[in-house]
Amino acid sequence: MLTHRSQIRVRYADTDQMRFAYYGKYFEYFEHARGDFLRSLGFPYSRLEEQGVWIPVIEAHAEYKQAARYDELLNIETRVHEKPTMKFRIEYKVYRDGVAEVLATGHTVHTFLNAETGKPTRPPSNFVSVFEQAIGRK
């Protein structure tokens, strides 16, 4: 299993009338954490795009346990259990900074598309290699 942690602060614009982080914002928090995660592996989105590959989200899920509020600092734990194949799944846990209790959990599933044709493609071998090496280290 490969794990990474990111932080994000709940902005005022992220909150709803009840002063809670709006539920849809959690998918943006997941995206922020996913970008940090891939960057930490030395493989940001831009590197995939340079290789002519997109990784769209084909499934997204979130479960809300507790509300986050304006100006709270959130820790997002990102996990991948297996190397990418034609699809790969990233799991997320959101915590209030300094508190072990989980605020939300979720996952996204991605596939690989050829950026030129928009058709499914295999993941780049160097991308898979990064995951194999990183998972092997853990």
What pLDDT does residue 134 have? 82
- CA 47 vs. chain centroid, Å, equals 16
The pLDDT tens digits of the residues spanning 98-132 come to: 999 999 999 999 999 999 999 999 999 999 999 98
DSSP lists the bridge partners of residue 61 as: 107
Alpha carbon distance 102, 75 (integer Å): 10
CATH code matching the domain that covers 2-137, chosen among 2.40.10.220, 3.10.129.10, 3.40.50.720, 3.40.640.10: 3.10.129.10
Q: In this structure, which amino acid lies at residue 130?
A: V
75, 10 Cβ separation under 8 angstroms = no
The domain segmentation of the chain, as residue ranges, is 2-137
Residues identified as active-site:
16
Which pair of tokens denotes residue 4?
Answer: 């990474």
Alpha carbon distance 30, 93 (integer Å): 9
Mean pLDDT rounded to a whole number for the chain: 95
